[in-house]
Structures are given as C-alpha cells and as structure tokens.
C-alpha cells in the first residue's frame, strides 16, 4: 500500500480507503472481518457518513483496541431521527449525532470532522455565517476533531469552500464518467500525463477545481470512484465499455490533489481487488486505451446508491431498491436470489407515494419516482 499526504492536514493516508456505507448491510462479525482485512492490507482511513446507530456500533467494536491505526473521517450534520438518516443543520441535532458517533466508536476525537453534504450555495452561505461553522470550529479548538473537512458533489460549492480557507480537505465525487463531457478525438489526449490538455474533454469546472485544490493544498478523498459499480459492466457503463477496479482507482489517483479513494467493500475479495492497485502493471492501470474507442458521453440520471435520497416518508430503502432493480434488468429473467432480497425489504417500491422529496435531494438528478414504478412492476 502506498500513502499520500492529505494536503495541509499533514496526515499520511493510504491510497485506498474504506468507505463505510455498505457496512450498514453487514452483521457485526462481517464488519469486523472486513475492517480487519482492510487493516491487514495497509488501509488506514475510514469514512463513516452514516448515522445509523448499529453500523456505528459495529465499526466501533471492530476498531476497539486499534483506534490509533485508523484515521476516521466522520460527518457532522448526518443525524438519525425516527429511524432514518436526516441531513440536518440544526445544532442540537448535530451535537447529539456527533456525541453518538464518538460514543459508539469508542473514541474521544475524530481525525477529520466533515461538514456533511453541502451541494447548495444557500446551504453553504448559511453554514459559514451561522452557528453550524461556529460549532465545528469549537470542536476543533477542543481537539474533538483534528481537522475540518467537507463533503460535496458540486464543483461550484467545492470551489467556494477551497477559496474560503475554511476547509483543510474535501470528500468529493470523482470518476471518469462524472468528469467527462461529450467529446471527439483521441482519448489519449484527454487522459494524458499533461492534465491541462484535458480541458476540451473534461468538465472545465472540475479541471479548475482539482488544480485549485492542489494550489491551496486541500487534499481530496474520493467518493463514487466506481460510480456505484456501474463502470464495471459495459451494459451499465455510460461509456459502453467496462473498466476494472484498478483502472477506476488509477483514474482517480491521477487527478491533482487526490490522495485516497474511499471504496465501499462488501467482501474480502473486493478489498484484495482494490489493494492490488499498489502492485498493478502499466497494462493493468491503463484505462485510456479502454476508453479510446468507447461511445463516451456525460454521466447523469444514474443511481450510484449513495443514500442521499433519504429520508423517505414511508421508509423505503431507495438505494437498495435501485440496486436490486439494476441487477435484475441485467438478466433475461429476474434471479431468484434478487427476488428474495427484494421480498424481505421492510418496505419496497410499491409503497412509494410519489412525493418526489427524494428527487430534490438526489445529487445526480435520478428520476426516482419513475424508477420505483418500474421496480414495482418488475418485482410485483
């Protein structure tokens, strides 16, 4: 495993990190095995944006006695209310959630205190002019968080945050699909060593952001590096070709200011696939030649199962319904195992009331209500 300095924080973090979102779906023992194997492979940074109490307790139990081996990226403003995740700027709610995180993790500090999920300029302005930022700075002054970070999917908001000087690092969504716009020409030009030549093929806003982060020494940890696994399947990939985990990781880690990719692991095998990046050959790393002849286009409207659509008023696990639907439609017939996974959901697509509140929170413009109708028709 290779390690990189996370910008002005000075922390030396592993190029591959553990994104904790899928740990919500695992037992305490499974969580322990995944975390222990990550540690064995040299992974030393963990992101936990989830507020769900059980997953926090499971993570805390898994790192008990080994807290010093992990840099924890914990989110401030991710709360648990009435059995559901709720993003909140209410200070009382944020405090309860933060104290809960410390208690369940069995620690008295978080290395990276993340201002959680800021994608809107009004939200950003309210944060920096109101009590929320004051609370975050108070936590840092007390040593209860060591560094201030932020998570966002929006390059414009990310730029505001970097230029403000408030944040020391950032969790940002990066992968070739998110970065690319419709282009013509030789893909080697757009994916070459000289990143400045990529302006015609990669979103100019993202080009500017990556360079700005590098200039201001704001390190980036990456979410959505695999685009929810969609890039592994040519039928689901927006490029029409499949990439490997190593190729996706290499794309992210060759962007300016990127220090680590936070990967959501479901199994030991997936950890080993990602950790193979450190010893991969030039041929295995080469994503450019794979994309060279692909029908490239911009990525939008596709679910990456991030969970930001929560909370649902009828408590549908939207991310899981979407994932099962996507898996099902890839097959000539819906596999029995997928039907069974869908069957045991407490609430499912047929419970959707069509309020579309989830769509207003989706960072990627997914037409969730329409997908719920399709899923209900498919699964019955």
Q: Which tens digits make up the pLDDT trace of 144-169?
A: 999 999 999 889 999 999 999 999 99
- pLDDT, residue 295, reads 63
- pLDDT, residue 179, reads 79
Which residue, 225, 206, 375, is CA-closest to 287?
Answer: 225
CB-neighbour burial class of residue 16 (10 A; exposed 0-12, middle 13-18, buried 19+): buried
Question: pLDDT of 76-93, one tens digit each?
Answer: 999 999 888 889 999 999
Question: pLDDT of 257-288, one tens digit each?
Answer: 999 999 998 889 999 999 999 999 988 988 87
Q: Which helix (H) or strand (E) holds 171?
A: strand 169-173
Tell whether the model's pLDDT for residue 246 goes beyond 60: yes
Q: Does domain 3-291 have CATH number 3.20.20.100?
A: yes
Contact 76, 48 (CB under 8 A): no
Helix/strand/coil for 301: coil
Contact 225, 252 (CB under 8 A): yes
Which residue, 327, 112, 141, is CA-closest to 230?
Answer: 327
Tell whether the model's pLDDT for residue 193 goes beyond 60: no
Q: Residue ranges of the domains in the chain?
A: 3-291, 318-379
**Torsions phi, psi of 114, nearest 5?**
-95, 120
Tell whether the model's pLDDT for residue 296 goes beyond 70: no
């Amino acid at each position: 495993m290779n390690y990189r300095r996370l910008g002005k924080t000075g922390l030396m973090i592993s190029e591959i990190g553990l994104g904790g979102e899928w740990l919500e779906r695992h037992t305490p023992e499974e969580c322990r095995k995944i975390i222990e194997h990550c540690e064995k492979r040299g992974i030393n940074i963990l992101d936990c944006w989830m507020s769900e109490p059980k997953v926090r307790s499971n993570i805390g139990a898994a790192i008990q006695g080994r807290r010093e081996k992990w840099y924890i990226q914990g989110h401030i403003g991710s709360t648990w209310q009435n059995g559901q995740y709720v993003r909140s700027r209410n200070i009382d709610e944020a405090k309860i959630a933060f104290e809960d995180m410390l208690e369940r993790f069995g620690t008295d500090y978080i290395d990276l205190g993340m201002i959680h999920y800021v994608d809107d300029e009004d939200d950003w302005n309210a944060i920096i002019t109101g009590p929320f930022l004051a609370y975050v700075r108070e936590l840092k002054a007390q040593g209860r968080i060591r560094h201030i970070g932020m998570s966002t999917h929006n390059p414009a908001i990310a730029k505001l945050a970097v230029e403000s000087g408030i944040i020391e690092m950032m969790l940002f969504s990066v992968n070739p699909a998110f970065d690319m716009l419709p282009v013509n020409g030789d893909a080697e030009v757009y994916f070459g060593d000289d990143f400045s030549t990529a302006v015609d093929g990669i979103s100019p806003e993202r080009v500017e952001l990556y360079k700005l982060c590098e200039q201001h020494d704001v390190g980036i940890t990456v979410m959505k590096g695999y685009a929810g696994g969609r890039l592994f399947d040519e039928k689901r990939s927006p490029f029409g070709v499949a990439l490997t985990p190593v190729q996706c990781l290499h794309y992210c880690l060759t962007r300016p200011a990127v220090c680590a990719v936070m990967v959501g692991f479901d199994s030991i095998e997936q950890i080993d696939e990602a950790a193979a990046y450190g010893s991969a050959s030039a041929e295995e790393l080469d994503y450019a030649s794979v994309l060279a002849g692909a029908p490239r286009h911009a990525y939008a409207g596709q679910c990456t199962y991030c969970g930001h659509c929560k909370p649902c008023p009828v408590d549908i696990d939207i991310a899981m319904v979407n994932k099962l639907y996507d898996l099902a439609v890839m097959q000539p017939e819906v596999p029995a195992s997928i039907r069974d996974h869908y069957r045991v959901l407490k609430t499912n697509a047929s419970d959707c009331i069509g309020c579309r509140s989830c769509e207003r929170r989706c960072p990627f413009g997914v037409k969730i209500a329409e997908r719920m109708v399709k899923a209900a028709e498919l699964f019955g």
